[in-house]
């Protein structure tokens, strides 16, 4: 695909995405079920390398909630940890493109690479995942097993509160 076509497609998709958010606001955006018109595009290896530093992405939205009262989406069902600890999945590949990685310290980036979480529900083609992420300036040296146990314990407590 030609580089100009790729960038024009990305701009058009971003414009359509932002237009919907501006029209309805973020609160209504996460509840809406209408289709957003986006064009797909594929890249060559050379173009992929040229775009590797790009931070814009429109296939997901990261919402930070500091307590469960922030989740007001009308849920059909919630299924947290249906298979126990086997429900935990690596999150880094899913979230890295939605975060300002350059702002993370060496310690916080190390924890972020170990990030695990679980899907709590899906609706209208969107997956809603839950995890605990380090703050950008985190100085902790928590190991992967301890972090995994922390996330599992937190999700188990959330599940108890919801059930």
Buried b (16+ CB within 10 A) or exposed e, 97-133: eebeeeebeeebbbbbebbbbbebbeeeeeeebbbeb
Same domain, 93 and 21: no
Same domain, 44 and 69: no
Same domain, 75 and 6: no
Same domain, 65 and 142: yes
Number of structural domains found in the chain: 2
Mean pLDDT over 95-115 rounds to 88
What is the band of 26 on the pLDDT scale with cuts at 50, 70, 90? confident
Same domain, 65 and 46: no
Q: What is the mean pLDDT of the chain?
A: 75
pTM: 0.57
Domain that holds residue 1: 1-56
């Amino acid at each position: 695909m030609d580089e100009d076509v790729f960038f024009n497609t990305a701009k058009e998709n971003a414009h359509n995405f932002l237009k919907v958010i501006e029209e309805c606001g973020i609160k209504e955006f996460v509840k809406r079920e209408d289709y957003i018109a986006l064009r797909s595009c594929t890249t060559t290896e050379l173009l992929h390398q040229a775009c590797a530093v790009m931070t814009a992405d429109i296939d997901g939205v990261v919402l930070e909630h500091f307590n469960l009262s922030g989740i007001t989406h009308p849920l059909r069902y919630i299924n947290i940890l249906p298979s126990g600890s086997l429900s935990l999945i690596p999150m880094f590949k899913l979230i890295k493109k939605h975060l300002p990685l350059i702002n993370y310290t060496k310690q916080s980036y190390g924890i972020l690479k170990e990030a695990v979480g679980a899907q709590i529900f899906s609706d209208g083609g969107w997956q809603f995942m839950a995890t605990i992420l380090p703050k950008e300036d985190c100085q902790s040296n928590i190991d992967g097993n301890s972090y995994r146990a922390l996330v599992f314990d937190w999700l188990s407590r959330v599940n108890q509160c919801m059930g």
